[in-house]
Structure 1
Amino acid sequence: MNGADMLCDVLLTNGVDVCFANPGTSEMHFVAALDRKPQMRCVLGLSEGVVTGAADGYARMADKPAATLLHLGPGLANGLANLHNARRARTPMLNIVGDHASYHLQHDAPLTSDIESLARPMSHWVGRVAGAQDVRPRTEEAYRSALMLRGISTMILPADAAWGEVGPADLAPVTLPERPVVSPEAVGAAAAALRSGKRTVIILAGRALRAGALETAGRISSATGAALFSQTSDRTERGAGRVAARPVPYNIDLAVEALREFEVAICVGGKQPVGFFAYPHKPSTTLQPGCAVIELAGHEHDLAETLNLLAETAGVRNDVPFTPNRFTQPEIVAPTGALNADSITIALARTLPENAIICEESITSAGKMAVLAPGLSPHDHIPLTGGAIGIGIPLATGAAIACPDRKVIALQADGSGMYTLQGLWTQARENLDVVTVIFANRAYAILQGEMRNVGVKDFGRNARRMLDLDNPDLDWCSLARGMGVEAARVDTIDGFTDTLKAALAQKGPFLIEARI
């Protein structure tokens, strides 16, 4: 038995049974060990951005971490953008990054790099295995940290630690400590604010946007009059019968206006909302300067229990009714007119199957989906969290592996989709039930909007060439078919509606290129 075998056994003992991988020479002993463990599902990604993004999507839906296997520092670096998104989503993940044998590092071979320095900004825990005997304790520490910190653990595995011999061991699942308890003073202050008569908003993030926690927040809102808002989070359980929290708008002016009236903000699962970017003569934070902010609980707390405690302290009885979203999906009128973001999302809303998973990287093409979502069949929504584009296709890939019996729908902008379109190949290889809708506007439309936000209204030749995606146009159908995914192009809303119905009725990956 070698260190790589021990690593596999520790992962499997703790329920980590999926490994998204793009390995290299230094990881071959680990690959061989994985080959001896049929309980581990190994999923190949053709770029490391697919690997890390898929591990993110998997963990968001499985509520447990996957492992990734990455090749040295450059391999890790290729996956860092989607590790940034996973870090912002507080996704538990175990990155296994191979390195040269420890005695070989002194020779500064061509692929030698400072892996720790590359890993640290996007990881919540970084550790290096000292030798084969160190594999078990280091792996257990990485696993424990990923769950307790709700974040990314990156473990560096030198090749000689992987091939070094170890003795067999009686393994048991890692014992996790109790989660930290929220401050009684903060709970008391939040409860007092709810009873004060001041205009109060509860801003939810993270696991406070799961159905049970939302119901408790809904009871608090019904009893006290507090408004409910949400920030961009890893996963929101939406739809009829659930409680809707209004998203804080992305646009800084709209966000400030939406939150202008509130005198107290109670933040559950995150800090107070801030603007995505700074703009001249505009604020960085979206709450009014005089608004009192109570950061009640963070990602490390049990947020559902925190809301229960807040309700109890504020005197909100368990039998206080919440206001569930009414089921309005059958009332949505079929879209007509031009094929655009609004008509596409209306067509999708009319046909959304129950228990679907929507993975969203539509950027500027969100259309009417957020407005219609509360009245649709219950579903999960997992978005781009950290703003680093190129996660949509991998996110859907991981979600489909976590939930093979649920339909996954990826709403994908064309520009960001090109970053990690290799994920389509993984969807075809694994026969994943994903419908990808490409909003093909042939532009980085989000950047065109940001240019206008900083006062540039007229685009010259250089700006257009950096922000347009034409000449030549991207052919998404050819790209998808070249990776084994069935695809169709549509130019009308009737064509989109018919194609969407057909795609939802079949199993396996399908891509719709909607030219808007």
Structure 2
Amino acid sequence: MNGAQALIRTLVDAGVDVCFANPGTSEMHFVAALDDVPGMRGVLTLFEGVATGAADGWARMTGRPAATLLHLGPGLGNGLANLHNARRGRTPVVNVVGDHARSHKRLDAPLESDVDSLAGTVSGWVRRTLAPEDVGADAADAVAAAGRGQVATLVLPADVSWSDGAAVAGPPPPWSRPVPPQHRVDEVAAVLASGEPVVLLLGGDVLAGEDGQLAASAVAGATGVRLLAETFPARWVRGAGLPDIGKLPYPPEVAMKSLAGTRHLVLAGAVPPVHFFGYPGVPGTPVPADCSVHVLSEPGEDGVAALRALAELAAPGAAPQPVEASRPELPAGRLTPRAVSAVVGALLPERAVVVDEAITSGVGIAELTSGAPRHDWLSLTGGAIGDGLPMAVGAAVACPDRPVLVLQADGSAMYTLQALWTMAREQLDVTVVLYDNGSYAILQGELARVGATGGGERAGQLLDIGGPALDFVALATGTGVPATRAETVEELADQLRTAFREPGPHLVQAVLRPAG
């Protein structure tokens, strides 16, 4: 058995049975081995950033590591942005990167690079396999490392793949989240009893299911603590029957206002919040200077168990406060960001997976979907735009029986537009709402926020993508995805109904620019 065959069989036996790939010459024996190991599904992408983003989406929805297959250092480099998002989302990913044969590396071939150092920028675990007999054990170790909520990168030289003498390793032992110590629960219970203003910031595993949210809601109802979700949750189960939990806002001035007056911030699966960037004269965190921060559970720990214990101690017998089922009424007329949100809230299918990369166009989307049928929400965890379309690919592969809806800004769509081709090739049930405002609107706001107020016409050209206008209908149909264009609420609603009803991918270009 050669190294590539042992690698794939070990991965499959460990539950890693999907590989998002953009292979090259050094990975050809891995490609050939797919015919020998039918348990592994290979999904081709036309850009490495699609492969890594799809692995992120797949793993968020399954809770199991996905695999990628990337070509040498340049291929890994092309995928780094979405591996960064996966790292920030604590997503389990097994990243397989081919490299030159061992005897060829010393020749400094044109594609030679320091793969290991590149991998280290986004990986919590990196290993280079040096002999075929080590492939199975190294692959099992990579799966175990990824399962703890991180990117694990295995660098595989080409000759290790093609050489015989490899063996399949058994699956790694199961990993479970450690339960936080009781003294933390006791400390937080005492804080809740103090009568001072408390915010409970939820993240990680607490938002990824219903049990933690319901326990937090019971605590809030009994003690008056205010609930907030972290700004960009990796996975958030939402909708009717669950508590209506607001998010900590993104803009620093709004985030600081949201936490103003808070004397105690309790973290349950979340990390202490900081602003995405530094701004002149603005503190780096929205947490008030006189606010104490308490950790109930850290990321990677069992935050759900900690919240249950807290509810038993601080709110015995208290009931959660779920949201009743509700839908916004459809507005009328030309599209605005809030009107698009209303249409989504009115029509969101049951059991949908929503991938949110709407950026500035998602005005009111959380509010107008809070009472919608139960759904999952995937966010841009690391801020590296271009994850929306690839994540939808991974989510749709992971959940073929569930509709996937992408709320996609136009500028960031162009980073990984190749994902549409994979949607068409795999006939994935993905509907893309493409917010067409013809600009990098998020950067227009940041220009003023950082105090760069002298921006004129030349500066504006770097933030405007309207000239020439991008024709997303043509771009989508050119990749095999049916597409339509909507300028009114009525058109958007009709086109979304059709897209949700018909199988396969669809794109709707929602035009938000003013007429004329």
User: Which band: TM-score by shorter chain?
Assistant: over 0.9
CA distance in 2, matches of 1:143, 1:39: 16
Residues 437 and 511, structure 2, Cα contact 8 Å, conserved in 1: yes
Question: What are the superposed Cα offsets for residues 453-510 of structure 1, whole Å, 9 maximum, x if unpaired?
Answer: 1334564221121010122110101100110000011112211111111111111100
Deviates more, 1:490-499 or 1:431-440: 490-499
After TM superposition, the structure 1 stretch with the greater mean CA deviation from structure 2, 232-241 or 158-167, is 158-167
Secondary structure of residue in 1 paired with 2:227: strand
Do residues 259 (structure 1) and 259 (structure 2) align? yes
Q: Could you tell me which residue of structure 1 aligns to residue 246 of structure 2?
A: 246
1:50: Cα distance to partner?
0.3
> In the alignment, what sits opposite 1:497?
493
Counterpart position of 2:185: 187
- Are positions 1:473 and 2:462 aligned together? no
Q: CA deviation at 1:187?
A: 2.4
What is the match of residue 44 of structure 1?
44
Q: What is the one-letter code of the residue matched to 1:107?
A: L
Q: How does 1:17-166 map to 2 (within 5 A)?
A: 17-148=17-148, 150-166=149-165
- Give the stretch that moved more between structures: 409-418 or 156-165: 156-165
- Looking at structure 2, the residues matched to 238 and 179 of structure 1 have their Cα atoms a distance apart, in angstroms, of 23
Measure how far apart 1:167 and its partner are: 5.4
Amino acid at match of 2:132: A
Tell me which residue corresponds to 2:435: 439
Within 5 Å, which residues of 2 pair with 1:32-431? 32-148=32-148, 150-166=149-165, 168=167, 171-209=169-207, 210-231=209-230, 232-312=232-312, 314-317=313-316, 319-329=317-327, 332-431=328-427
- Name the aligned partner's letter for residue 57 of structure 1: G
> For the aligned residues, what is the CA RMSD?
1.3
Q: Is the 8 A contact 2:97 2:153 kept in 1?
A: yes
Amino acid corresponding to residue 368 of structure 1 in structure 2 = G
**SS of 1:207 mapped into structure 2:** helix
Paired residue type of 2:497: K
Mapped partners of 1:373, 1:33: distance in 2: 45
1:310, CA displacement in angstroms?
2.4
Q: Structure 1 unaligned segments of length 5 or more: list them.
A: none
Q: Deviations over 1:136-158 (max 9, x none)?
A: 1111111111112x111011001
Q: Does the 8 A contact of 2:271 with 2:299 survive in 1? A: no
Letter in 2 for 1:203: L
Tell me the CA shift for residue 163 of structure 1.
1.3
| Residues 46-87 of structure 1: CA deviation (Å, up to 9, x unaligned) | 000000000001111111111100000000000000011111
Deviation at 1:93, TM superposition (A): 0.3
User: What is the identity, as a one-letter code, of the residue corresponding to 1:354?
Assistant: E
* Amino acid of the structure 2 residue aligned with 1:73: G
1:214 deviates by: 0.4
Aligned mates of 1:53, 1:306 — CA distance in 2: 31
Whether the 8 Å contact between 1:214 and 1:244 is mirrored in structure 2 is no
Q: Secondary structure at the match of 2:279?
A: coil
State the match for 1:13 in structure 2. Answer: 13
Alpha-carbon distance in 1 for matches of 2:166, 2:268: 46
- Write the distance in 1 (CA, Å) between the matches of 2:300 and 2:492: 43
Give, in angstroms, the shift of residue 244 of structure 1.
2.4
Whether the aligned pair in 2 keeps the contact of 1:219 and 1:322 (CA below 8 Å) is yes
SS of equivalent residue, structure 1 residue 197: coil
**Larger CA deviation: 296-305 vs 453-462:** 453-462
Aligned residue pairs: how many? Answer: 510
* Secondary structure class of the residue paired with 2:155: strand
One-letter code aligned to 2:9: D
Report SS of the residue matched to 2:359: coil
Q: What's the TM-score once normalised by structure 2's chain length?
A: 0.97
Give the corresponding residue for 1:454: 450
- Deviation at residue 165 of structure 1 after TM alignment: 1.1
Q: For residues 176 and 401 of structure 2, what CA distance do their matches in structure 1 show?
A: 33
For 1:102 and 1:224, locate their aligned partners in 2 and report how far apart those are by CA, in whole Å: 63
Conserved? CA contact 1:339–1:492, under 8 Å: yes
SS at match of 1:437: strand
User: Cα distance, 1:287 vs. partner?
Assistant: 1.2
CA–CA distance in 2 between the matches of 1:244 and 1:93? Answer: 31
Q: Distance in 2 between matches of 1:404 and 1:266?
A: 37
Deviation at residue 408 of structure 1 after TM alignment: 0.5
CA distance in 2, matches of 1:500, 1:176: 42
- TM-score normalized by structure 1? 0.97
Deviations 1:380-423 (A, max 9, x none): 10011111011111011110010111111100000000000000
* CA shift digits 1:101-150 (9 cap, x unpaired): 112111111111111110111111111111101111111111111112x1
Which amino acid is 1:404 matched to? P
Distance across 1 between alignment mates of 2:315 and 2:170:
42
Distance (whole Å) between structure 2 residues aligned to residue 222 and residue 503 of structure 1: 40
Return closer, same or farther for 1:457/1:183 CA change in 2, 3 Å cut-off.
same
Amino acid at match of 1:269: G
CA distance in 1, matches of 2:315, 2:358: 39
- Where 1:364 maps in the other structure, the secondary structure is helix
Tell me how far apart the structure 2 counterparts of residues 146 and 293 of structure 1 sit (CA, whole Å): 29
CA distance in 2, matches of 1:176, 1:352: 36
- For the residues of structure 2 that align with 1:292 and 1:108, how far apart are their CA atoms? 54
| Structure 1 residue identity aligned to 2:56 | D
Give the aligned residue type for 2:199: V
Whether the 8 Å contact between 2:72 and 2:111 is mirrored in structure 1 is yes
